[in-house]
Structure 1
Amino acid sequence: MQLAAFYDSAAGTGLYFGLHDPTGATKRFTADHPEANTRAVRLAWDIPAPDMGRPGNRFVLPGQAVWQLLRGDWFDAARIYRDWVRTHARWFPKLGPEGRADTPLWMRELCAWAMTGGPPNQCVPAVLEFAKALGLPVGFHWYNWHQIPFDNDYPHYFPAREGFTAGVQQLQQAGVAVMPYINGRLWDSRDRGTDDWLFSSLARPAATKKQDGEPYLESYGSKETNGQPVRLAVMCPATKLWQERVAGVVGRLLGECGVRAVYIDQIAAAEPVLCFDATHGHPLGGGSWWNEAGYWPMLEAIRRDKPAEVALTTECNAEPFIRWLDGYLTWHWQHDGQVPLFPAVYGGAIQMFGRAYRGGPTKDLALRMKAGQQLVWGEQLGWLEPAIVREPENFAFFSDAVRLRWQLRRYFYAGQMARPPGLEGSVPTVTADWQWSGVWPVTTPAVLTGAWHLPAERRLALLFANVTDTAVTARVRYDLAAEGLSGSRLVRRRWTPQGSSLPEPAASPLDETVTFPPRQVWAWELSAAD
């Protein structure tokens, strides 16, 4: 997103710094110390100009640079940006009383994802067991459904593995939405084993080019059969060839295989490439063409031609593609000290799903931390191996979080994030190795909190997840009036994974001392009595 906030939590004040560009033109934000051992911070936006290297080109700042005194913290910065996005950003979707009507209801309501890959005779039974154990609709992100190796010989995904289409049908008849993987950026420069089959003759003219005319090539660890790295060309999304190629693969998956969703990798993950091929018809280098002439029309055409009940997703969460996609794979939200800035801006506008669940000696605690954070941040949980069902204690916590989300699911697609409740008192912290890249320690509070509301209906849900093995007692204070719940006629229900309590009177502001049982998730739902 195109904003940053620097603030003193104790003082409640700071600086909001944004570049409000409605086209999402290519840019890079940096914050650093220009001189060592100083308290100075340099903030900069580096914006490559359109038609770089062409005589007579000109540059106009895309959008407006905004410096603003910030009263509050990250959530107040999110509100500033959210107000701008909803009014001016060209990628913000139309929202109604039930959220995005152009996103299938099954996708808006979905609460859990399994992720694995390989042949149907291995994947299908495992995913069916996962779905049966949860007893709710689930999604399945299917990798390596194709016969070609992963990150090799792209984009020649067909033929699929034997039994793939039958496996899709079997899973979807059992309430599992199948979502196969394809890549939305890359063409292998040796696209039939070690041979250059169609790259030079067909794809190279549509690949992005450096200033010397050579294509941009990337490697991701995959190897050719001769041991050499696979070198994949970044295709230019403004070319007719690449737009039609991606649309064709999606069309075959929908028409021939009957899947309910397609994951198009890297679109919201990899940064735009500065392409200097004048034959592509876009401005050279920088600008907003990557969106306006590239992925926006590509995804618009795919979206126009697909059935209404099909969902489209991609990797990570670069904001300019939200209007054309239904879900973002937020597997990279793995950092110590992270805050839910993106859900605070875009909650209800797109479904966020997935964390990287990995191993190590603290994997059980890490799993509870990730699942708890996913729950309170409004994400669809999981993106883990279906074999989780064979880990009774881990699956118990995970399934409780999934079922609580299901009870409150409408908040996450028809509502928006509210300020998470703070806890006062001696709330411990926990640390686990999240294994994002080697040893990767992450520390969070023992009790994770979140808030989601339906403003037009004057309803608010406060969510809590104790990820530890011990009970925690803390004071919960919350200004309900700030979220539109004022007056004396308020009621409260307590929600657990099994259901809700009877309503009881509540008052604003909320101020109670609460004991949070170990390894439990629950929520309060507050609403106006009238």
Structure 2
Amino acid sequence: MKALVKISVLSFSISMFLISGLSCTSTGLSEPVISIDNGKIELGFERSTGKLISFSDIETSYNYIDSSAVEGLPWSLNVAAGSSPLGKLPTKVSFKKPDPFTLNIKWEQADETDGIKVLASVSLDKEKALSYWNIKVEGMKEQNIQHVKFPVIAGIKDLGNEELAVSTWLGSLINNPRAGMTNAETPKTFTWNHPGHLSMQLLALYNKESNGIYFSCNDTLAYTKNFSMTFDSKNSLEYSITNIPPFNNRIDTYQPAYQAILGSFQGDWITAAKIYREWGIQQKWCRESRFKNNRTAEWLPKTALWVWNRGKSPNVLSEAIDFQERLGLPVNVFWHWWHNCSYDDYFPEYLPPREGGESFIKAVTAAQQKNVRCIVYMNSFQWGTSTDSWKAENAEPYCAKTIDGKTYEHAYNIFTNKAITPMCMATEFWQNKYASLCDSVVNVYQTNGVYMDQACMNFQCYDKSHGHDLGGGNYWVNGFGKLTSLIRSKISGKNQPILAGEGSGEDWIAYLDLFLTLETSRERYAGISNIESIPLYQAVYHDYAMTYGSYSSLVYPPYDELWPEQYSPANKEKALPEDFNAQFLMEQSRSFVWGMQPTIANYHAFLAKDRKEEIDFLIKLAKTRYNALKYLLYGEYCRTPQINSPQQEIDISKLSIYVGRTGGNVSRFKKTVPSLYTGTWKSSDGCIGIAIASISDRQIPVDFTLDTSEYNLPQEGDVYVITDNARTLLQSYGKNRTDIHFVMPSRGVCVLEFVPRQ
């Protein structure tokens, strides 16, 4: 997985800082604070300035904002680096209430002359604890405005025992996000791009014992924007959305084609996910979901396991065939380093395959005859600037450009230090180039599809010759949609090809068949921190988008044979120390209970003997999942009842393919983790399945109570235990609350199934 390379563009922010008025609250237009409420939340704005100084949950009487910490307005404007400062600034504020649930605020020139005007409209949902925020900026012409920050919600209090849930691809939970800020000299800012690394327009800050703030947006057209959280040394928090207008100084007015959403809730990230799901599944991407509409290849949902191997076919296809023979269920291949070029520096010179076309086709065809299919790696937009094709095909004019006309090139490969740079997804040049590669890979070399690396990402491009809006806009995702349509128009359906992509994102659900989500293995690439992976994306879109992927491995990382030999480590693809076996079990357990297709990285047949217990666990897990697909593939994510789990300390390895230079390619940590992993799913026919996996080498008593009314289950039914080889009756239930008691065996895997009686 590659992290998005961020290019810092210098700019300066013009924010209005005006003198505060009185802090008393009133709904009258002549009072110091003008408020609107819907019986659930109340918003209060300072009459003299338009500052947001109050955001209250009426039910709990809690005000999220410390008015004394609010220094600026709920908006700010940024001009591009090198541009002149904004001229006349709007200082006169006025308010109108067209109805009891709406407040319109206008900032205009004090002398009522021409110049920038900012108009904001804030409306409250008539039934929910949500507010909707609109902004319109007039008089922008010749001002070179690059960013419009709105809303800016400043002075957010510390809620105590805070957790911050962020929809980073699969999902992240930041525990105590203000940690370390008391004595910090400079504010700490988290920024996430959407569409891109932020898979959904959703963040949630909460204390699960009291109150929480729901931050969202309702953009259905994939306009690029940034969500930010800034923590300062005064323990204050500022939230903002950076809206990005087309960079065109002839545009006089900008109004985003979407609303920001601010709300209050009681609960946790699952509560926030359910609020978002209610909106998300009604949108176009779900209506056109390839998975939901059965437009994916027939073999894809039947995949029991993915083998993610690298190199030539004997190191990849032969190993997958071995695993399939052991598993007895469909195993397919996610294949890196099959290509002619060195990884991460000579893209897109993929063809012919490095082992030769004839050998490649023969191996792929032989594997398909044994029902092992393969999808092969090709980065979705990168081109190596040191390749012969970069010059020969005159690629530079069609790559994405920064605001100062430069490329985004970056050297991922630490062994060669050769750069690659993003091509602009909106250009026909790149769409035709990539589609032609897919044509060859599928139609000539007979693969079963393409894995499009870095697919769920988004760059701002400022090249005027490309014909799209400069900077801001929705051309990137639209271009990706055109690209996938072009690919599918070219590739033969003979081998039922699919398109998979790195990451996950609501805006790509209609375009991709499968999403690689690697957060189950966060520790392997990020180590230990206050950030934990959570299945936030699964809680919203599991039944609309198939996910797979994991760095979970029992061996040291491989090393590309086309990289410099002097950096090749001696231990490549040798078994890792047994200390890290529990980490492997943890990663596979997460994948299982989070409803993903299981994946093992760098599998080799010798592991079936040298790491027998771990491979047996994975086989048991894959078989159990296969017996419960109505939940773990097609089900809707639900809250799991309280199931107590003992904790255990395990060894954690942080490792990467880019560590061979120094020889020490593993960083070691300790982490305390649950022994039991759980996830609850509701099937389309109304049954409930609770997936449970144990990484402990001891038996664990499982005792919990399930309130059937919380899952809309009828009062009577039966409870079954689904395992890798059986489905047995555990007990019946006949009350709203049913007590479950059983013993989970050492390294056990099962799904508890609650089936209503007809």
Aligned residue pairs, count: 510
Change in CA separation of 1:100 and 1:37 when aligned onto 2, cut-off 3 Å: same
Could you tell me which of 629, 640, 657 is aligned with 1:409?
629
Instruction: State the SS of the aligned residue for 2:386.
Output: coil
Instruction: Find the residue that maps to 2:285 and give its secondary structure.
Output: coil
Distance in 1 (CA, whole Å) between partners of 2:490 and 2:265 is 44
Which residue does 1:384 correspond to in 2? 601
* 1:151–1:377 CA distance, 2 compared to 1 (3 A): same
Structure 2 residue 308 is the aligned partner of structure 1 residue 115: yes
Q: Does structure 1 retain, via aligned residues, the 8 Å contact 2:203–2:215?
A: yes
1:282 pairs with 2:474? no
Shift of residue 209, structure 1, vs aligned partner: 1.4
1:482 aligned partner, one-letter code: E
Cross-structure match for 1:509: 737
CA distance in 2, matches of 1:305, 1:258: 13
Match of 2:517 in 1: 330
Report the alpha carbon displacement of residue 48 of structure 1 after superposing the two structures with TM.
Answer: 2.1
- In structure 1, the gaps of 5 or more residues are none
Q: Which residue in the other structure is 1:244 paired with?
A: 432
Deviations along 1:4-37, whole A, 9 cap, x unmatched? 11222233x312111121122212222231x215
Give identity over the alignment, percent.
Answer: 25
Does the 8 Å CA contact 1:31/1:42 hold for their aligned counterparts?
Answer: yes
Aligned residue identity for 1:66: I
Query: Which one has more relative contact order, counting CA pairs under 8 Å at least 6 apart?
Result: 1
Show the counterpart of 2:266.
Answer: 71
Query: In the alignment, which residue of structure 1 is the partner of 2:483?
Result: 298
Q: Distance in 1 between matches of 2:633 and 2:215?
A: 29
The residue that corresponds to 1:179 in the other structure is 375
Q: Kindly provide the CA deviation profile for residues 260-318 of structure 1, in whole angstroms up to 9, marking residues without a partner as x.
A: 221011111x4x222111111110001211112x1121112223444552211011223
CA contact (8 A) 1:118 1:144 kept: yes
Alignment of 1:113-512 (within 5 A): 113-160=306-353, 161-162=355-356, 163-192=359-388, 197-199=389-391, 201-221=393-413, 223-224=415-416, 229-268=417-456, 270=457, 272-292=458-478, 294-307=479-492, 309-333=496-520, 334=522, 336-358=531-553, 359=576, 362-387=579-604, 388-390=607-609, 391-424=611-644, 427-435=646-654, 438-439=667-668, 442-455=671-684, 457-488=685-716, 490-502=717-729, 504-507=731-734, 508-512=736-740
| Paired AA for residue 133 in structure 1 | R
Letter in 1 for 2:485: E
Of 236, 239, 243, the match for 1:47: 243
CA distance in 1, matches of 2:414, 2:215: 40
Paired residues of 1:91 and 1:322 also in contact (CA < 8 A)? yes
**Please, which of 285, 292, 295 is the counterpart of residue 91 of structure 1?**
285
Shift of 1:345: 0.8
> Secondary structure of 2:281's match?
helix
Q: Using the alignment, how far apart are the partners of 2:219 and 2:364 within structure 1? A: 41
User: How do 1:99-110 residues align onto structure 2 when only pairs under 5 Å count?
Assistant: 99-110=292-303
Match of 2:227 among 8, 29, 35: 29
Specify whether residues 102 and 499 from structure 1 end up closer, same or farther in structure 2 by C-alpha distance, changes over 3 A only.
same
Task: Give the superposition deviation at 1:503.
Answer: 7.3
Taking the aligned partners of 1:68 and 1:212, their CA distance within structure 2 comes to 38
What SS does structure 1 have at the residue aligned with 2:680? strand
Cα distance, 1:524–1:487 mapped onto 2, change above 3 Å:
same
Cα distance in 2 for partners of 1:366, 1:68 equals: 38
The answer to whether the Cα contact below 8 Å between 1:187 and 1:199 also exists between their aligned partners in 2 is: no
State the Cα deviation string for residues 334-370 of structure 1 (Å, max 9, x = none): 1553221111111021111111124456320001101
Deviation, 1:420, is 2.4
Please tell me whether the aligned partners of residues 519 and 533 of structure 2 are also in contact (alpha carbons under 8 angstroms).
no
TM-score relative to the length of structure 1: 0.90
Q: Residues of 2 paired with 1:221 and 1:176: CA distance?
A: 31
Which string of whole-angstrom CA distances, capped at 9 and with x for unpartnered residues, describes residues 138-182 of structure 1? 111111112221123211211112211111111111121211111
More strand by share: 2
Partner AA of 1:119 in structure 2: K
Alpha-carbon distance in 2 for matches of 1:105, 1:422: 37
Quote how far apart the aligned CAs of 1:93 are.
4.4
Across the aligned residues of Structure 1 and Structure 2, the Cα RMSD in angstroms comes to 2.2
Which runs of 5 or more structure 2 residues have no equivalent in the other structure?
A: 1-199, 524-530, 554-575, 657-666
Residue type of the partner of 1:348? Answer: D
Distance 1:305 1:451 in 2: 41
* Kept in 2: contact 1:421–1:450 (CA 8 A): no
Q: Which residue type is aligned with residue 505 of structure 1?
A: S
Q: TM-score scaled to structure 2, two decimals?
A: 0.64
What is the distance in 1 between the residues matched to 2:690 and 2:601?
Answer: 26
Equivalent pair of 2:647/2:672 in contact (CA under 8 Å): no
Deviation at residue 54 of structure 1 after TM alignment = 2.8
CA contact (8 A) 1:93 1:349 kept: no
Relative distance call for 1:256 and 1:201 in structure 2 (3 A) is closer
Shift of 1:442: 4.8
Alpha-carbon distance change, 173 to 44 in structure 1, aligned in 2, over 3 angstroms: same
- 1:2 Cα deviation from its structure 2 partner: 1.0
1:7 counterpart letter in structure 2? Y
Counterpart amino acid of residue 419 in structure 2: R
Output the CA distance in 2 between the equivalents of 1:121 and 1:137.
19
Range with bigger deviation, 318-327 or 214-223: 214-223
Find the aligned partners of 2:491 and 2:705 in 1 and give their Cα distance: 47
Shift of 1:511: 2.2
Q: How far 1:211 sits from its partner (Å)? A: 2.6
Q: Which amino acid aligns with 1:300?
A: S
Q: Would the aligned equivalents of 1:427 and 1:474 in 2 still touch at CA under 8 Å?
A: no
Counterpart in the other structure of 1:3: 202
**CA–CA distance in structure 1, aligned partners of residues 320 and 289 of structure 2:** 33
SS at match of 1:106: coil
**Contact 2:721–2:751 at 8 Å: present in 1 too?**
yes
How far does residue 504 in structure 1 lie from its aligned partner after superposition? 4.6
Q: Distance in 2 between matches of 1:350 and 1:303?
A: 19
Query: Would the aligned equivalents of 2:340 and 2:352 in 1 still touch at CA under 8 Å?
Result: yes
Give SS of 1:498's match: coil
Which is richer in helix? Answer: 1
| Aligned partner of residue 10 in structure 1, secondary structure | coil
> Does structure 2 conserve the Cα–Cα contact (< 8 Å) formed by 1:421 and 1:449?
no
Please report how far the alpha carbon of residue 240 of structure 1 lies from its aligned counterpart in structure 2 after TM superposition: 0.5
Distance 1:478 1:499, change over 3 A: same
CA distance in 2, matches of 1:406, 1:158: 36
Distance 2:546 2:431 in 1: 24
Larger Rg: 1 or 2? 2
